Amino acid sequence: MMQSGRDNHLMRSTIRDTLDVADAAYPRRRFLATSLSALTLAGLRPTPLLASAPLEAAAHASALRLISQPGRIFRTSLSGNEAVDSWACWVIVQADDDAAIEATGLTVELFNGTARVKSASYTAAGVRALAIKPPLTPRLPDGSLPARPIFWPLAIRIRQTEASPLAIDSMRVVLDLRSGKRTAQQVDVTLPIETYRQKSELLFPFRGKGIILQAGVTNGGHRNRSGQFALDAFGVDDSWSIIAAGDGKQNTDYRGWGREVLAPADGVIVRARSDRPDQPLPETSDPRYYAPEYPNGGDVGNIVTIDHGNGEFSMLAHFKAGSLRVKVGDRVRRGQPLGALGNSGDTSGPHVHYQLQTGPDWEYADALPVKFTNVDQQSLVRGTYFDAE
């Protein structure tokens, strides 16, 4: 999405039942994205690690426990002179009842193997600055309701950027909690920090010159569960201008408007939607053009999702109305035209939204880092110009 006077879908994050879709699905409610980058160097005394907790499982057999979303946390490395790794996740308090919970303290510890490299602690006021209360009833990762009700009274966004030579491979989060129905309790979880090995050789989904105007969570961009590494790309002309004609007040003024959007790799179409109109005016996201299920925003518009057959799924969004050339069940080849770049859904300018994810449904899948074989840049961040061959 193009960032204008307000954030748009997949440029911001919130919860839709499971803390996993854009906050536009609610009346402009957004999560805090505060970084915990103020960690200070601690000793290198070895510290035993705990087992990682899966998304739906308890980290401890207690009334309160911590889970993370996404379930696996991947680091990214930004290009440039600084050798740094970045990662982000939500750490969520999960409970068996709906009692109000107050966090009175937070400690974040970073590890290389069993050696604790860095640590930071926060007072109750510091935790309040990082936390939100997730709305609605949580669901399991596939979107289904759990057999027994569970509750998420508190969620904290953790976003880290650390020097690559530190080789951080796990993060321990400890929360001190209190409520009117419980005595004070401390809960913790240790989460692996992984490097993702991409399986598919992916083409950037259009050819020619373009610019990234919104990137992933560690670049100040998309923060929802499946879109943490998503990219919003606008087409540009030979002079690297987004606007090819006019004053940018019409979709046809944009250089990328109608450009062919391509299949990044071989696969099978598992999701396709083509019934959404384009926003008629760029720089405006008019709710009258949102799908009925997204009355307050968060509409991805016309989309295609491709199963590459190896646990990786490409999701492409905001196709031009009436332009899709594929349907669910079709097998496509790398580079095959899927449709045309458009402005459908909750957007404010013609562009293609691309993300790599772990499943067919963007609302319940986890995000995967992505690289493309037909662009020179190994790291596509906000403001990157590129030429996709």
Residue 142 is predicted with a pLDDT of: 72
Residue 114 is predicted with a pLDDT of: 96
| Burial status of residue 13 (CB atoms within 10 A of its CB: 0-12, 13-18, 19 or more) | buried
Residue 180 is predicted with a pLDDT of: 67
Residue 247 is predicted with a pLDDT of: 78
Instruction: Give the number of other CB atoms < 10 A from CB of residue 313.
Output: 25
What would the 3-class secondary structure string for 31-83 be? CCCCCCCCCEECCCCECCCCCCCCCCCCCCCCCEEEEEECCCEECEECCCCCC
Domains and their CATH numbers in the chain: 31-194 (2.60.40), 198-389 (2.70.70.10)
pLDDT digits (tens, 9 = 90+) for 156-170: 999 999 999 999 999
pLDDT digits (tens, 9 = 90+) for 331-353: 999 999 999 999 999 998 999 99
Residue 81 is predicted with a pLDDT of: 67
Residue 77 is predicted with a pLDDT of: 85
CA dist., res. 62 & res. 301, Å (int): 42
Residue 301 is predicted with a pLDDT of: 96
pLDDT digits (tens, 9 = 90+) for 282-294: 988 999 999 998 8
Q: What is the pTM of this model?
A: 0.81
Segments of the chain with pLDDT less than 70: 1-62, 79-81, 135-137, 141, 180-182
CA dist., res. 243 & res. 1, Å (int): 16
Average pLDDT, the chain: 82
Contacts of 269 by beta carbon, 8 Å cutoff, 6+ apart:
304, 305, 306, 307, 326, 327, 328, 329, 330, 331, 332
pLDDT digits (tens, 9 = 90+) for 189-201: 999 999 999 999 9
Residue 30 is predicted with a pLDDT of: 29
